[in-house]
């Protein structure tokens, strides 16, 4: 019983909710989905991009701490016309990988829409996801491989990918991030980093302050995670689609007496506009593993509302020379840096009140360098998968890129 409760609470942290969307399918109709999908290496270019009639290149970059990340580049639109606009780098959120930008039709998916609009599109796959499991000296079976949180994504993955694209194109880059992909950008921008490499950033469903989450179970889950951090760190790798996790999601649905599909709503908000008949495609690609340390770090943010470095408790002194972890200050984001921030009225994870705190941090931002797009009907996943996202969100985003 205890373990059922424990597992049910964790699931709340499945921030990229394809995880749960697929929960329903994979958990009930398939048992051994992970093993196969993790070992086949058919590549995002081959399976999701070329099949739609686009050219695609596979690239890899090695971070300063040894992780080998894969990137995909879509250098031309469907017409075959070479990109005549700057590179755009797309950074996915927690439990996702680059596939998330390509799931719907070319008319609906941001990755394709940008390519057809003349941008040179680059998609990153964060460490530990299906196509980014390489390391110069470690394997995913080593505990040390999973010793990271979003801070390492900000300090290593982000700079390496940005530098790589800059090196290849010789041009400053437009950035697009969803969810955790916004957090890493906020953190670096607030340090005055990346400015000489980025032209602008579009941040969808922004994650910065996380204190006001509308979903009480999320807070409960965060508390639970924190209370058991030693146990969780022992596991290191959090793989959403293993049998154990399948059982726990099944367990929640049972405990809460809810059909699992409604759990998506329960945890991320009522996504208005996702095409449910595309679930099969999602199931083949998501969710991706992450480090349990990352989930603990996110839980710390939910508990404190602070955007701070990892809290090592008594060992903070050793890590930081002070008792409490240093915080990141969003008011330090340079006022003239072009930002596009889009948030939704139904998003339980990027809560409206939390976004307002962030926007207050940005109150001195140059008015003509900050575009804020609010969509009342949108919840967390709509920002990457809504069938009307092109009109609602991506067209304004492209207009923003074009003017910066």
Ligand X SMILES: *[C@@H]1O[C@H](CO)[C@@H](O)[C@H](O)[C@H]1NC(C)=O
Catalytic residues: 179, 347, 380
| In the complex, minimum distance from the CB of residue 197 to ligand X, in angstroms, rounded to a whole number | 6
The binder of ligand X chosen from 58, 65, 147, 163 (CB under 6 A): 163
Q: Of 349-388, which residues contact ligand X (CB under 6 A)? A: 387
What is the rounded distance in angstroms from the CA atom of residue 19 to the CA atom of residue 14?
6
CB contact at 8 A, 321 and 354? no
For ligand X, the binding residue among 29, 36, 137, 277 (CB under 6 A) is 277
Q: How far is the CB of 309 from ligand X (least distance, A)?
A: 10
Give the residue among 156, 209, 197, 195 at the shortest CA–CA distance from 333. 195
Q: Which is nearer to ligand X, 89 or 154 (CB)?
A: 154
- Interface residue with ligand X, options 164, 248, 343, 378 (CB under 6 A): 164
Only one of the segments 52-60, 162-170, 234-242, 320-328 lies at the binding site for ligand X (rule: CB under 6 A); that segment is 162-170
Half-sphere exposure of 318 (CA within 13 A, CB side): 4
Q: For residue 61, state whether it binds ligand X (rule: CB under 6 A).
A: yes
- Count of residues near ligand X by CB under 6 A: 18
- Please write down the long-range contacts of 325-330, taking CB distance under 8 Å and 24 or more positions apart: 328/186, 328/187, 328/190, 328/191, 329/190, 329/361, 330/186, 330/190, 330/208, 330/358, 330/361, 330/362
Closer of 34 and 180 to ligand X (Cβ): 180
CB of 173 to ligand X, least distance (A): 11
Binding mask 80-119 for ligand X (x = CB under 6 A): ----------------------------x-----------
Q: Provide the minimum distance between the beta carbon of 389 and ligand X in the complex, in angstroms, as a whole number.
A: 11
Using the CB atoms, write b or e for 108-124: b if 16+ within 10 Å. bbbbbbbbbbbbbbbbb
- Burial string for 308-343 (b: 16+ CB within 10 Å, else e) reads bbbbeeeebeeebeeeebeebebeebeeebbbbbbb
Spatial distance between the Cα atoms of 276 and 279, rounded to a whole number of angstroms: 6
Residue 66 or residue 159: which is nearer to ligand X going by CB?
A: 159
Residues 184 to 203 in contact with ligand X, rule: CB under 6 A: 188, 191, 193-194
Q: Which residues bind ligand X (CB under 6 A)?
A: 61, 108, 154-155, 159-160, 162-164, 167, 188, 191, 193-194, 275, 277-278, 387
């Amino acid at each position: 019983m205890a373990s059922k409760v424990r597992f049910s609470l964790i699931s709340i942290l499945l921030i990229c909710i394809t995880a749960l969307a697929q929960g329903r399918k994979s958990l009930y109709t398939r048992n051994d989905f992970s093993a196969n999908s993790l070992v086949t290496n058919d590549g995002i270019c081959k399976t999701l991009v070329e099949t739609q009639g686009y050219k695609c290149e596979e690239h890899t970059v090695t971070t300063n701490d040894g992780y080998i990340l894969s990137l995909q580049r879509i250098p031309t639109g469907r017409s075959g016309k070479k990109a005549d606009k700057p590179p755009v780098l797309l950074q996915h959120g927690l439990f996702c990988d680059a596939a998330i930008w390509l799931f719907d039709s070319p008319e609906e998916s941001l990755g394709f829409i940008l390519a057809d609009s003349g941008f040179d599109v680059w998609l990153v796959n964060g460490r530990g996801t299906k196509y980014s499991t390489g390391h110069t000296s470690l394997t995913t079976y080593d505990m040390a491989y999973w010793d990271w949180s979003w801070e390492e994504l900000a300090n290593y993955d982000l700079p390496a990918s940005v530098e790589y694209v800059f090196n290849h194109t010789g041009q400053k880059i437009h950035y697009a991030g969803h969810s955790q992909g916004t957090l890493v950008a906020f953190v670096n921008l607030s340090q005055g980093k990346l400015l000489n490499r980025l032209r602008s950033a579009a941040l969808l469903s922004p994650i910065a302050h996380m204190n006001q989450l509308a979903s009480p179970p999320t807070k409960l889950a965060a508390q639970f995670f924190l209370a058991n951090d030693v146990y969780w760190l022992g596991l290191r790798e959090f793989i959403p689609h293993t049998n154990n996790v399948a059982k726990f999601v099944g367990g929640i649905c049972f405990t809460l007496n809810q059909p699992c599909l409604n759990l998506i709503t329960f945890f991320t908000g009522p996504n208005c506009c996702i095409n449910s008949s595309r679930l099969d495609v999602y199931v083949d690609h998501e969710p991706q593993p992450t480090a349990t340390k990352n989930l603990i770090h996110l839980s710390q943010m939910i508990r404190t509302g602070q955007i701070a470095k990892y809290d090592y408790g008594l060992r903070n002194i050793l890590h930081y020379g002070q008792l409490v972890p240093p915080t990141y200050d969003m008011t330090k984001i340079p006022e003239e840096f072009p930002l596009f921030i889009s948030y939704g009225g139904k998003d339980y994870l990027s809560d409206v009140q939390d976004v307002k705190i962030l926007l207050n941090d940005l109150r001195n931002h140059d008015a003509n360098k900050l575009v804020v797009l609010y969509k009342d009907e949108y919840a967390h996943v709509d920002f990457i998968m809504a069938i009307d996202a092109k009109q609602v969100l991506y067209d304004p985003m492209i207009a923003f890129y074009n003017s910066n």
